[in-house]
Amino acid sequence: MAISFDRERQTFHLQTPHSSYIITIVEGLYPSHVYWGPRLRNASWPGGLTLRERASFSPTPNPDKPSLSLDALLQEYPGYGSGDFRSPAYQFALSDGTTVAELVYREHRIFAGKPKLEGLPATYAESDGEAETLELTLHDSFSGLIAVLSYTTFRDSDAIARSVRYVNESADSVRIRRALSASVDFNNDEYELVHLNGAWANERNLSRRALVQGQQGIESRRGSSSHQHNPFVALVSPNADEEQGDAYGFSLVYSGSFAASAEVDQFRTTRVSIGINPFDFEWLLEPGQSFQAPEAVLVYSNEGLGGMSRTYHRLYRSRLSRGEFRDRTRPVLVNNWEATYFDFDADKIAAIAEEGARLGIELFVLDDGWFGYRNDDTTSLGDWKVDLKKLPQGLDDLAKRVNAHGLQFGLWFEPEMISPDSDLYRAHPDWCLHVEGRRRTQGRRQLILDLSREDVCDYIIDTVGGVLASAPIAYVKWDMNRNMTEIGSALLPPERQRETAHRYMLGLYRVLETITSRFPHILFESCSGGGGRFDPGMLHYMPQTWTSDNSDAVCRLKIQYGTSLVYPISSMGAHVSAVPNHQVHRVTSLKMRGDVAMSGNFGYELDLTKFTPEEKEEVKAQVTAYKELRELVQFGDLYRLKSPFEGNDTAWTVVSADKSEAFVAFFRVLAQPNAPIDWLRLAGLDPNADYEIAGTGERFGGDQLMYAGLPVPRLEGDFQSATWRIKRV
């Protein structure tokens, strides 16, 4: 039993293979947090949850029990208004206008398996034996609102999936103002906060800072998870590195506006919470209705950030992503965006595909510009009809020409958008997100379709579905190139306008669910100007994401390293692009560009026909090497060895689950004069096994490679890389 209940002590013990999470119901009412950390044998011990009388400024719900104050209690799902002054997990307004509420324990059930979250992406169990779930039902007796807290443990993972469902059992409507997915109270503040921040073309930089008294956190108000912040935070002990120390991860399975924060209070406890951003959010819950908050996936590791990441990688790769491609190696592709932008015709595309075939590439992706009259980015989004000026024989013919060269054919869409200059907008000017009478603010000369509307979602399903059925399409790149403004819907009544952004996400998830299940043989890759929506919500429907529009090899070291904090390599699109690079104008070697991209879902984003004969030979060798490597790289365990955020060198290794082989990559950005001799200490190998380096035949013990290190060859010049393939002998 992974979840047990001690009736006498009113205590729940959730055990994962290496961790324990303990909840106790104080006074039969208050679900309280006792422990989260390395696995314990027993959930109760003297003083496990210590209560202490505080000053009168921390009020007590029971005057006869002065040691109990909600302001000091470590809680599982705290509210506001009756004694806890810290940041609440929930808040709702009743029909009398008041916002005081107190959700207390009513009942619970423990059962095998993991239920689906209605309308939302989530991790899953393939059989009931894989997972166990605790549902704690809380109620506010005054209002009749119910909250069902759900906790799932997995047989094979150190993750705990949490979510909350509200049910209005009263005769009155209730306005939910805040409905976070998870809140955990730590009994001290000796941690650092880790999160990922960035911007377009500069996504997921690693940020780490000591906690201070008060609130600290991150959020997105953009209507998508965003380039600027990722829906993830971790608390780590100050000694935590890639191999050791405590790491507590909080990752939200959601693609819209979110908030995550850590609050250190007067008693130096720390409250971490994550969920839909309460800013500009409200949800009207009529009697009998329910509201499902997204899932938060919590991971504890005492093997530092490295251990935490590997737990996320395995879970997200195998029990968040779905579909035929979940466990399949991904094709090597070439995408024409940076090769042609909008300026192409069928012959140009066929020429790139033909060259791709000679180089061993398996998939051609036709990017933006194939529909409407889209010769630049000012028009036609929404008009998903092929541009017969560019492609006179249509898509089917082009796809078959590409197929004839032995490559599969993939296609770009941006289905959530509408250009003001489009037939769709002329026919349906009210189909975009907007507020009547106000300016409709554009981004990249486009507006966002109102996916809170069923008819708009159905239009997307029909038109995109129609194109997908019209030609042999094996891959789709699903793009989304701006953030939300004037977030209002023409169909929602005034009291529901603030539901628009979340209803949009529910609409989007319905569209994705329908299209991906209708076309199970298509590999879907999500994209939002690169990695503006690189989140677990999208990965549930699409197993990979275009990591960043920035494909410069040096910038990609940080972007891919930061992304790997939560997301597996199999989810990261990584392409070799032309030099000078189109984003930062840097010139790096083809070798380094190849080596960086090979630590992802490999491809090219340039005009293959422009390579010199020597470059073609090098590319052919890269493609061949990647095909031999991809099973390992896409599905192995990642160990980060040297951080690009800390110095001139970056290194990582991917080790197969059985530790029989590894791929090692080392990168040096700038040349160093009179450089020291470097020994790269590997990780994740079997210390008792012997390994051989492919190519040189040199043999090392796993212990020697991990504890003494692999000698790094002399590297001359800027932008250098070295890779090794290691096999157990």
Beta bridge partners of 723: 665
480 known ligand binder: yes
Q: What is the DSSP letter of 531?
A: B
**Among 61, 530, 568, 594, contact with ligand DGJ (rule: CB under 6 A):** 530
Assess contact for 545 and 527: CB atoms under 8 A.
Answer: yes
Q: Which two tokens stand for residue 355?
A: 């060259």
β-bridge pairing 572-577 and 601-605: parallel
The question of whether 690 is a catalytic residue gets the answer: no
Active site residue 280: no
Q: Which is nearer to ligand DGJ, 337 or 663 (by Cβ)?
A: 337
Applying CB under 6 A, which of residues 306, 529, 594, 644 lies at the interface with ligand DGJ?
529
Cα three-residue angle 292-161-685, rounded to 5 degrees:
150
188 marked as part of a ligand binding site: no
DSSP 471: T
β-bridge partners, 574: 602
Query: Which range, of 45-53, 83-91, 149-157, 522-530, touches ligand DGJ by CB under 6 A?
Result: 522-530
Query: Do 476 and 410 meet the contact criterion of CB atoms below 8 Å apart?
Result: yes
Measured from the CB atom, the residue of 368 and 421 that comes closer to ligand DGJ is 368
Q: Site for ligand DGJ (CB under 6 A): which residue of 30, 80, 200, 337?
A: 337
Contact stretch for ligand DGJ (CB under 6 A) within 112-120, 398-406, 417-425, 526-534: 526-534
Residue 331: asked if its preceding bond is cis (omega within 30°), the reply is no
- Of 307 and 532, nearer to ligand DGJ (C-beta) is 532
Part in contact with ligand DGJ (CB under 6 A); list of ranges 139-147, 431-439, 453-461, 524-532: 524-532
549 labelled as ligand-binding? Answer: yes
Span from 54-62, 65-73, 527-535, 590-598 in contact with ligand DGJ (CB under 6 A):
527-535
Q: What is the 3-state secondary structure (H, E, C) of 396-459?
A: HHHHHHHHHCCCEEEEEECCCEECCCCHHHHHCCCCECCCCCCCCCCECCEEEECCCCHHHHHH
Q: Is 444 annotated as a binding residue?
A: yes
Q: Does residue 263 bind ligand DGJ (CB under 6 A)?
A: no
- Cα 443 from chain centre: 24
Q: Are 497 and 447 in contact (CB under 8 A)?
A: no
CA distances in angstroms from 59 to 62, 534, 685, listed in the order given: 9, 43, 54
Which of the stretches 149-157, 283-291, 525-533, 675-683 binds ligand DGJ when contact is defined by CB under 6 A?
Answer: 525-533
Q: Cβ(482)–Cβ(444) under 8 Å?
A: yes
Q: Round to whole Å and give the CA distance between 27 and 65.
A: 10
Alpha-carbon torsion (29, 31, 32, 35), positive or negative: positive
CB of 251 to ligand DGJ, least distance (A): 23
432 carries a ligand binding annotation: no
Q: Calculate the dihedral angle through the C-alpha atoms of 216, 218, 221, 224, rounding to the nearest 10 degrees.
A: -160
Q: Which helix (H) or strand (E) holds 535?
A: none
- Toward ligand DGJ, which CB reaches closer, 410 or 529? 529
Identity of the residue, 384 or 546, whose beta carbon is nearer to ligand DGJ in the bound complex: 546
DSSP classification of residue 497: G
Residues 466-505 within binding reach of ligand DGJ (CB under 6 A):
479, 481
- Under rule CB under 6 A, how many of the chain's residues touch ligand DGJ? 11
Which of 189, 549, 552, 637 binds ligand DGJ (CB under 6 A)? It is 549
Burial of 378-416, coded b for 16+ CB within 10 Å and e otherwise, reads ebbbbbbbbbeebbeebbeebbebbbebebbbbbbbbbb
Least distance to ligand DGJ from the beta carbon of 476, Å? Answer: 12
Q: Is 154 in the site for ligand DGJ (CB under 6 A)?
A: no
158 known member of a binding site: no
Tell me whether residue 224 or residue 481 sits nearer to ligand DGJ (CB atom): 481
Catalytic residue among 84, 158, 383, 479: 479
Residue 585, token pair as written in the block: 């104008």
The SS3 assignment for 554 reads: helix
527 binds ligand DGJ (CB under 6 A): yes
* 552 lies in the site for ligand DGJ, by CB under 6 A: no
Active-site annotation holder among 387, 450, 549, 637: 549
- Binding of ligand DGJ by 43 (CB under 6 A): no
Q: Where are the beta strands (DSSP E) in 76-213?
A: 90-93, 104-112, 131-140, 145-154, 157-168, 174-179, 182-186, 192-199, 202-210
Q: Using CB under 6 A, pick the residue from 102, 265, 368, 678 that binds ligand DGJ.
A: 368
CB 422 → ligand DGJ: shortest distance, Å? 15
Q: For residues 658 and 580, what is the distance between their CA atoms, to the nearest angstrom?
A: 41
Q: Give the whole-angstrom CA distance, residue 397 versus residue 613.
A: 30
Residues paired with residue 295 on neighbouring β-strands, in sequence order: 253
- Residue showing the smallest CB distance to ligand DGJ in the complex: 368
Q: Which of residues 409-428 bind ligand DGJ (CB under 6 A)?
A: 412
102/479 with CB nearer ligand DGJ: 479
CB 242, min distance to ligand DGJ, A: 30
Residue closer to ligand DGJ by CB (options 549, 552) is 549
The reply to whether 367 sits in an annotated binding site is yes
Distance CA 594, CA 600 (A): 10
Selected range binding ligand DGJ among 34-42, 201-209, 388-396, 523-531, rule: CB under 6 A? 523-531
Query: Is residue 34 involved in binding ligand DGJ (CB under 6 A)?
Result: no
Mark residue 479 as left, alpha or beta (left: phi above 0; alpha: psi -120 to 50; beta: remaining). beta
Least distance from ligand DGJ to the Cβ atom of residue 445, Å: 11
Min separation Cβ 491 and ligand DGJ, Å:
29
Cβ 479 to ligand DGJ, closest distance in Å? Answer: 5
Annotated binding-site residues for substrate read: 200, 367-368, 444, 477-481, 527, 549
Which parts of this chain interact with ligand DGJ (CB under 6 A)? 337, 367-368, 412, 479, 481, 527, 529-530, 546, 549
Cite the active site residues: 479, 549
